[in-house]
Amino acid sequence: MMDKKSFAFDKTNFILLAIGMIVIIIGFLLMSGPGSTETAFEPDIFSVRRIKVAPVVCFLGFIFMIYGILRKPKDKEITTKEEERL
């Protein structure tokens, strides 16, 4: 049987990672759109949404995921069990 302290992440870490992944996917969806071809130029490729907003959203998603990975789980149960042993 596995103890809780053998896991590096707790439930909150996984929720933060999932939220970060969703934000990154939203950023990539904001970047998508019609592309230019050799015969037709699409001016939407230089829109503010695709050039500025979407990369910032993706960057925030990556920062959120890094925080979710580096966040240390709270050890309330472990410390109370250790105090009872003493």
What tens digit of pLDDT does each residue of 12-31 get? 999 999 999 999 999 999 99
Mean pLDDT score of the chain: 82
The pLDDT of residue 4? 54
**pLDDT at res. 39:** 76
Average pLDDT of span 57-80:
84
pLDDT at 81: 59
Task: Quickly count: other Cβ atoms within 10 Å of residue 28's Cβ.
Answer: 13
Nearest to 53 by CA among 27, 33, 29: 27
Q: How far apart are CA 34 and CA 57, in angstroms?
A: 20
